[in-house]
């Protein structure tokens, strides 16, 4: 029961609400306290005070007060509503929904409570609940178009396309006169209905509808795209051709339009002549465009290709277009095209360099060609680093100020495996154009690749707002600079500074949380704006937000960090000298030293923070931002349960990127260590389905067998039954393991990663073969196909096998003689 | 090869927003939260465009509605974007567009990407929002961009805004008229009315529509040159008018 107030206090209470609505927090609190003086147990007033405090950032006190309010007045919808709002502010949506429901039970007619509930239901994707809420809201106020649209969206997202369309049509039928063309809400709602129809597979009807209403719709391009798409899907070739021609008139730089046009014209995919003629006609229409010139290189073959490539390359080299190689390289998956391009450009260089550089045009053409060849020989499918270096040096000689040339030189060093030189050369490129952030970003990235976190950040700070709390790094966090945080974390991981590595990965994880939270305001905003199609697309995208490669990459590194921490708990105190010392005393000494270093860094960081605090109090900025209490990630790294923490990163990874072998194999590693055999096996089965002969799968299959053979306590009977039956298909119990492994090795003789996997299994199966396996592993370096990355993975295997220093040294020496420029092969 | 695609219209490439944000913070000192990009994409979904490297095997989007396909097919590399809006509260009271941010990766310059992005956005501003003009700011030192805006696209310098950028550099405030790309809405509505009338609708309803149309037509007179008239099929006004009983259900 709402507790009654006398009329004076009741009017004061209304003032409190008004102050809250106008964000006059202090006045609101003051007025509330005035009421509470006389009515200390007044639930609604206590609740309003709590709400205002929560808005002022005093979350804990607000909760205490809100609970007190509820205790005093369990039957007040205001108390429950506020309780829900506080949970909402804490992002505890489930509890918030419960509280709103209590509030609604008491006050079923309340619009604001119903609205808050609906927003949360949408955020939580409780579509059935959302449909109910939206129906109630529509009944209360059917005059608002938004309410109809919202109900349609609710049905649409829940999968009921028919109902969605019906709701939209019902509203349209209430319109006596067609709204003016300027009514964008109407225009978008009509187009939205059309997309719902098409999504339901009613393409014919959608097209008919579009032809009836399309001419009045303000998003002209969308109507054209949809119409063209429908026509092609319906195989109405002539109309589709016209529609795509119209689209190309608008935007000749969209390859999808050309694809569709060719299809609509019914040109056979091997009729290159006719296709080329079409592209040529578009070149004529748009002489400055790139697409119609470039696309034919994809399908032309032999002499036709050579001729077209010659024209294309010469034109671009003459213009000195720096992106020429980036635009060409996708052709290289076809070796004969790759060789043709090489032959052509080498030919230009041969003739032009003979002509000399007296004329400026020729000089530019020549330097562009050298630059092209430098990139060509630096590319993985046409790599010859010595030639790349020679060409880039010639290009630089001709144009010493060209940032791109210098940038390419750094990239060549990267492929040499020399991160030091790469970073150094990229820094030179940066200095050629200090006002350009792109080259600055590259320089910072290369410094991080060289594990130089400080220099990397220092470079970044030339473009950040360094007055932000936390300085340049703080700004990069605030601006959600995911690439930097990830690279920074990975550099720390390579140095086994796990605290800082985890710190960065968690920061990126939190950014994804923020991005998910960002959609909340649009649940109401977009309905007001009426831009419904974009909103629905956004909602669907948010559902698979963590499928983005930015998440995948970060999560993989985070899980690797936690696995490392689990396997080597001493790393919680900082990086330790490598080489697993069996000597316990040595180990203790190393840990003690690491701990000391950790304390030193903590002290240093605290001092910095104090200095910043002192500085920032001077310039009163208004907003007070809290300093991070754990800037080094020491709390993160001192976790009690690294595997459980890893699971937080793993779950979205497995859910949204199940086709990633790396994700599945990391899933296996985490679940095996957690003793969750069924889940570990599920990951193996998933890899098997993607690539049955994957080297990682081979090793993990054996390790799973060994784990099953040496369980400390037997699996629960039901689990055992499923696991054994399932695993039987991957590796039958009766299989002789050595034969199994030998056959794997002989089947994949040519592949170094497979040899590495086979050798790993051999030394697992017969520990006494380890010295031989180590030698065999070193011999894989003789393979002509071995890459630096694979060779480096081999070195890591030796650590995994627990090999001694002598074996590692032998491997490193061999690798270093093969790649003398590389700095990557080092023993700590 | 680089394609110019709509960000959040049809088809939607809204899942490229994180990549667009990265493109921005890699290239430019003026950066924004993802939510600000979302705000653009969801308020003016027709105005922003993105330039991406076409994946070797095409886009998974064009074959499957949502998802499926390799990461490269689903998240192609973003090498440029234009983020644009309508000015929310124009000080001059004239509806106009504004380029919030545009950039192209250094590795993909001189392919005409920025020009194409600008043209797409400008046209959408005029067609969808009847933006009288589009405005933007550019660093006075950025000669390449200045060349694009002034010489290639036809912008004019309105004024110099001193210390516009955080590092103290001045900006040229530039603008370009877009009214020649307007669509003649009045004409569309007139034709619809004619069609409705020939469908023998009640006279009073026709009049009402007429008033709405008139307001428009007086404002549109000056832009008669180069107007594009889209000829559509019958509006089917009958569908919209007949069932008045639906209103009683409200």
- Residue A581's pLDDT band (boundaries 50, 70, 90)? low
Mean pLDDT, range B58-69, rounded to an integer:
61
Residue B200: which pLDDT band, with cuts at 50, 70 and 90? low
Residues A32-57, mean pLDDT to the nearest whole number: 93
Instruction: Please indicate if any CB of chain B lies within 8 Å of the CB of A637.
Output: no
Is B232 within 8 Å of A216 when comparing Cβ atoms?
A: yes
Q: Would the pLDDT of B132 be above 60?
A: yes
Is residue B30, in this structure, part of any structural domain at all? yes
**Three-class secondary structure assignment of A193-245:** HHHHHHHCCCHHHHHHHHHHHHHHCCCHHHHHHHHHHHHHHCCCHHHHHHHHH
Q: Which residues of A14-37 are buried (b: 16+ CB within 10 A; e: fewer)?
A: ebbbebbeeebbebbbebbebbee
Between B2 and A361, whose confidence is greater?
A: B2
Average pLDDT for A702-712: 94
**A212/B contact by beta carbon, under 8 A:** yes
CB distance from B162 to chain A under 8 Å?
Answer: no
SS3 A85: helix
Distance CA B185, CA B28 (A): 39
pLDDT value of position A615: 64
CB atoms A531 and B116 under 8 Å: no
Within an 8 Å CB–CB cutoff, is residue B205 touching chain A?
A: yes
Average pLDDT over residues A271-276: 96
Per-residue pLDDT at A138 = 96
Q: What are the tens digits of pLDDT across the range A169-215?
A: 999 999 988 899 999 999 999 999 999 999 999 999 999 999 999 99
d(CA B87, CA B108) in angstroms, rounded, equals 30
Question: Which residues in chain B have their CB less than 8 angstroms from residue A514's CB?
Answer: 34
- Chosen for mutation from A180, A517, A532, A662 (greatest number of chain B CBs closer than 10 Å) is A180
Interchain proximity B1–A289, CB inside 8 Å = no
Tell me if A419 sits within 8 A of A449, measured CB to CB. yes
Strand partners, B177: B133
Mutation pick from B5, B11, B18 vs chain A, by most beta carbons of A within 10 Å, is B18
What average pLDDT does this structure show over A722-730? Answer: 95
pLDDT in tens, A664-699: 999 999 999 999 999 999 999 999 999 999 999 999
* Banded model confidence at residue A614, pLDDT cuts 50, 70, 90: low
Of B70, B127, B237, the CB nearest to A220: B127
Which pLDDT value is given to residue B236? 27
> Looking at the predicted structure, is the pLDDT value of residue A341 above 70?
yes
Region A7-179: CATH code? 1.25.40.10
- Is residue A491's pLDDT more than 60? yes
For A515-530, b/e burial (b = at least 16 CB within 10 A) is: beebbbebbbbbbebb
Q: Does B16 touch chain A (CB under 8 A)?
A: no
Predicted pLDDT of residue A358: 67
In chain A, the residue whose alpha carbon lies closest to the alpha carbon of B114 is A253
Question: Residue A438 is nearest to which of B42, B46, B105, comparing CB atoms?
Answer: B105
- Domains of chain A by residue range: 7-179, 741-827
Q: Is residue B95 part of a domain?
A: yes
A147 lies within 8 A of chain B by CB: no
Quick: pLDDT tens for A64-119: 999 999 999 999 999 999 999 999 999 999 999 999 999 999 999 999 999 999 99
Question: What pLDDT, in 10s, does the model give residues B3-43?
Answer: 999 999 899 999 999 999 999 999 999 999 999 999 999 99
Residue A827: pLDDT above 80? no
- pLDDT for residue A741: 97
- DSSP helix/strand/coil, B135: strand
Q: Is residue B205 part of a domain?
A: no
Considering only CB atoms, which chain A residues are within 8 Å of B47? none
**Res A598: pLDDT:** 85
Nearest residue on chain B to A547, alpha-carbon basis: B71
Domain that holds residue B106: 2-58+71-181
Confidence category of residue A603, pLDDT binned at 50, 70, 90: confident
* Res. A528: pLDDT tops 80: yes
Cα–Cα nearest to A419, from A821, A31, A827, A747: A821
Mean pLDDT for the stretch of residues A505-531: 96
B8–A538 C-beta distance less than 8 A:
yes
Paired tokens of B126: 């005029």
Q: Are A148 and A171 in contact (CB under 8 A)?
A: yes
Q: Is the distance from CB of B148 to CB of B115 less than 8 angstroms?
A: yes
Is residue A445's pLDDT more than 90? yes
Q: How far apart are CA B18 and CA B23, in angstroms?
A: 9
In a domain, B239, yes or no: no
Query: Residues B157-182: pLDDT tens digits?
Result: 999 999 999 889 999 999 999 999 99
Q: Are A774 and A798 in contact (CB under 8 A)?
A: yes
Nearest CB neighbour to A531, from listed B45, B67, B111: B45
Residue % of chain B over a pLDDT of 90: 62
Query: Binning pLDDT at 50, 70 and 90, where does residue B237 land?
Result: very low
Task: Tell me how many domains chain B contains.
Answer: 1
Q: Is residue A45 within 8 Å of A16, Cβ to Cβ?
A: yes
Asked whether the beta carbons of residue A544 and residue B66 sit closer than 8 angstroms, the reply is yes
Q: Please give, rounded to a whole number of angstroms, the shortest distance from the CA of A54 to a CA of chain B.
A: 23
Lowest mean pLDDT among A302-316, A566-580, A621-635: A621-635
Whether the CB of A548 is below 8 Å from some CB of chain B: the reply is yes
pLDDT of B88 over the 50 cut: yes
Q: Which residues of A touch B201 (CB under 8 A)?
A: none
Residue B187: inside a domain: no
The CA distance from A83 to the nearest CA of chain B, in Å, is 27
CATH code for the domain of B144: 3.40.630.30
- pLDDT of res. A178: 84
Give yes or no for residue B102 having a pLDDT over 80: yes
Strand partners, B8: B12
Residue B227 lies in a domain: no
Round the average pLDDT of chain A to a whole number and report it: 93
Query: Is 80 exceeded by the pLDDT of residue B66?
Result: no
Mutation test of the interface with chain A: which of B5, B6, B7, B9, choosing the one with the most A Cβ atoms within 10 A?
A: B9
Of A150-154, A476-480, B23-27, B109-113, the one with minimum mean pLDDT is B109-113
**pLDDT tens digits, one per residue of A303-323:** 999 999 999 999 999 999 999
Q: Which of A438, A443, A468, A478 to mutate to test the interface with B (most CBs of B within 10 A)?
A: A438
The end-to-end CA distance of chain B, in Å, is 54
In the prediction, which pLDDT does A624 show? 53
| A269/B72: higher pLDDT | A269
| CA A98, A99, A105, A111 torsion-angle sign | negative
> Which residue has tokens 């497979």?
A754
Suggest the residue from A139, A147, A323 to mutate for an interface test with chain B (most B CBs closer than 10 A).
Answer: A323
In a domain, B197, yes or no: no
CA angle A43, A48, A54 (to 5 degrees): 125
Does ipTM exceed 0.90? Answer: yes
Please tell me which residue of chain B has the smallest CA distance to A248: B4
pLDDT band at A610 (very low <50, low <70, confident <90, very high): confident
Within an 8 Å CB–CB cutoff, is residue B238 touching chain A?
no
Q: Does the pLDDT of residue A261 top 60, yes or no?
A: yes
Please write down the long-range contacts of A678-685, taking CB distance under 8 Å and 24 or more positions apart.
A678/A719, A678/A722, A678/A723, A680/A704, A681/A723, A681/A726, A681/A727, A683/A654, A684/A727, A684/A730, A685/A726, A685/A730
- Please give the average per-residue pLDDT across B54-62, as a whole number: 80
Q: How confident is the model at residue A135 (pLDDT cuts 50, 70, 90)?
A: very high
And the tokens for A599?
A: 């304390």
Please report the sign of the dihedral spanned by the C-alpha atoms of residue A718, residue A720, residue A723, residue A729.
negative
CB pairs below 8 Å between A and B: how many? 253
Identify whether B102 is part of a domain. yes
Q: Do A330 and B1 touch (CB under 8 A)?
A: yes
Contacts of A326 in chain B (CB under 8 A): 53, 107-108
Q: What is the mean pLDDT of chain B?
A: 81
In this prediction, residues A514-523 reach a mean pLDDT of 96
How close B90 comes to chain A (CA, Å)?
18
Minimum distance, in Å, between the CA of residue B24 and any CA atom of chain A: 9
């Amino acid at each position: 029961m709402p507790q009654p107030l006398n009329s004076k206090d009741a009017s004061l209470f209304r003032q409190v609400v008004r102050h809250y609505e106008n964000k006059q927090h202090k006045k609101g609190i003051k007025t509330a306290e005035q009421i509470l003086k006389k009515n200390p147990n007044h639930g609604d007033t206590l609740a309003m005070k709590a709400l205002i405090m929560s808005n002022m950032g005093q979350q804990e006190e607000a909760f205490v007060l809100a609970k007190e309010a509820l205790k005093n007045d369990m039957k007040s919808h205001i108390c429950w509503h506020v309780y829900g709002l506080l949970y909402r502010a804490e992002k505890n949506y489930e509890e918030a929904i419960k509280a709103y429901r209590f509030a609604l039970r008491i006050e079923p007619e309340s619009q604001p409570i119903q609205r808050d509930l609906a927003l949360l239901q949408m955020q939580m994707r409780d579509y059935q609940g959302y449909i109910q809420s939206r129906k109630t809201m529509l009944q209360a106020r059917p005059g608002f178009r938004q309410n109809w649209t919202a109900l349609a969206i609710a049905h649409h997202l829940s999968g009921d396309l028919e109902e969605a369309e019906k709701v939209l049509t019902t509203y349209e039928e209430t319109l006596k006169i067609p709204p003016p063309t300027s009514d964008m809400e109407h225009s978008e709602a009509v187009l939205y209905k059309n997309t719902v129809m098409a999504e339901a597979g009613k393409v014919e009807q959608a097209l008919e509808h579009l032809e009836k209403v399309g001419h009045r719709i303000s998003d002209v391009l969308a109507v054209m795209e949809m119409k063209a798409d429908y026509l092609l899907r319906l195989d109405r070739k002539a109309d589709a051709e016209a529609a795509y021609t119209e689209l190309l008139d608008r935007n000749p730089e969209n390859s999808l339009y050309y694809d569709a046009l060719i299809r609509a014209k019914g040109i056979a995919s091997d009729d290159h002549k006719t296709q080329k003629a079409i592209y040529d006609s578009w070149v004529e229409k748009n002489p400055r465009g790139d697409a119609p010139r470039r696309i034919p290189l994809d399908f032309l073959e032999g002499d036709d290709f050579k001729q077209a490539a010659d024209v294309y390359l010469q034109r671009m080299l003459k213009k000195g277009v720096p992106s020429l190689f980036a635009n060409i390289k996708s052709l290289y998956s076809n070796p004969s095209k790759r060789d043709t391009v090489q032959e052509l450009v080498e030919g230009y260089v041969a003739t032009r360099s003979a002509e000399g550089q007296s004329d400026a045009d020729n000089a530019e053409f020549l330097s562009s060609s050298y630059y092209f060849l430098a990139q060509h020989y630096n590319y993985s499918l046409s790599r010859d680093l010595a030639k790349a270096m020679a060409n880039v040096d010639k290009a630089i000689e001709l144009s010493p100020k060209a940032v791109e040339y210098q940038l390419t030189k750094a990239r060549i060093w990267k492929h040499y495996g020399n991160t030091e030189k790469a970073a150094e050369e990229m820094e030179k490129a940066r200095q050629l154009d200090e006002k350009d952030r792109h080259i600055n970003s590259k320089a910072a990235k290369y410094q991080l690749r060289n594990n130089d976190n400080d220099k990397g950040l220092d470079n970044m700070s030339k473009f950040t707002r360094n007055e932000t709390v936390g300085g340049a790094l703080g700004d990069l966090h605030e601006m959600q600079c995911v690439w930097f945080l990830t690279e920074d974390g990975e550099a720390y991981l390579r140095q086994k500074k796990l605290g800082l590595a985890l710190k960065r990965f968690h920061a990126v994880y939190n950014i994804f949380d923020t991005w998910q939270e960002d959609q909340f305001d649009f649940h109401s905003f977009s309905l007001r704006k009426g831009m419904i199609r974009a909103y629905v697309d956004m909602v669907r995208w948010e559902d698979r937000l963590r499928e983005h490669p930015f998440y995948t990459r970060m999560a993989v590194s985070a899980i690797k960090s936690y696995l490392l921490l689990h396997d080597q708990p001493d790393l919680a105190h900082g990086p330790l000298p490598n080489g697993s010392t069996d000597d316990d005393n040595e180990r203790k000494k190393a840990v003690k030293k690491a701990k000391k270093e950790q304390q030193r860094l903590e002290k240093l960081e605290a001092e910095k923070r104090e200095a910043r605090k002192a500085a920032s109090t001077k310039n009163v900025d208004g907003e007070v931002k809290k300093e991070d209490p754990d800037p080094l990630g020491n709390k993160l790294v001192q976790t009690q349960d690294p595997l459980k923490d890893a699971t937080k990163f793993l779950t979205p990874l497995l859910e949204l990127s199940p086709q990633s072998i790396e994700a599945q194999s990391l899933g296996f590693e985490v679940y095996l260590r957690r003793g969750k055999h069924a889940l570990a096996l599920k990951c193996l089965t998933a890899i098997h389905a993607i690539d049955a002969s994957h080297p990682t799968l081979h090793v993990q299959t054996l390790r799973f067998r060994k784990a099953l053979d040496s369980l400390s306590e037997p699996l629960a009977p039901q689990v055992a039954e499923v696991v054994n039956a399932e695993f039987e298909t991957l590796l039958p119990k009766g299989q002789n393991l050595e034969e199994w492994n030998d056959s794997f090795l002989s089947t994949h003789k040519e592949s170094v990663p497979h040899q590495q996997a086979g050798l790993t299994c051999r030394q697992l199966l017969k520990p006494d073969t380890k010295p031989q396996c180590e030698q065999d592993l070193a011999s894989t370096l003789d393979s002509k196909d071995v890459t630096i990355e694979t060779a480096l993975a081999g070195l890591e295997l030796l650590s995994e096998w627990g090999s001694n220093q002598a074996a590692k040294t032998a491997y490193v020496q061999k690798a270093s003689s093969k790649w003398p420029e590389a700095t990557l092969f080092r023993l700590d | 090869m680089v394609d110019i695609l709509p960000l959040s219209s049809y088809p939607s490439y809204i899942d490229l927003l994180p990549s667009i944000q990265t493109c921005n913070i890699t290239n430019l000192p003026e950066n924004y939260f993802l939510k600000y990009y979302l705000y653009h994409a969801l308020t003016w979904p027709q105005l922003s465009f993105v330039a991406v490297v076409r994946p070797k095997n095409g886009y998974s989007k064009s074959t499957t509605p949502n998802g499926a396909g390799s990461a490269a097919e689903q998240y192609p590399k973003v090498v440029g974007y234009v983020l644009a809006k309508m000015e929310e509260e124009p000080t001059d009271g004239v509806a106009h567009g504004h380029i919030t941010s545009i950039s192209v990766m250094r590795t993909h310059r001189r392919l005409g990407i920025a020009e194409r992005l600008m043209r797409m956005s400008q046209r959408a501003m005029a067609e969808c929002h009847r933006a009288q003009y589009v405005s933007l700011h550019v660093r006075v030192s950025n000669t390449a961009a200045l060349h694009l805006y002034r010489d290639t696209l036809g912008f004019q310098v309105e004024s110099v805004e001193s210390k516009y950028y955080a590092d103290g550099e001045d900006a040229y405030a530039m603008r370009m008229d877009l009214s020649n790309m307007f669509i003649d809405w009045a004409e569309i509505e007139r034709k619809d009315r004619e069609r409705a009338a020939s469908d023998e609708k009640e006279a009073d309803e026709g009049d009402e529509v007429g008033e709405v149309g008139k307001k428009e037509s007086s404002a549109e007179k000056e832009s008669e040159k180069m107007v594009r008239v889209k000829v559509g099929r019958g509006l089917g006004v009958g569908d919209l008018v007949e069932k008045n009983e639906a209103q009683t259900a409200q």
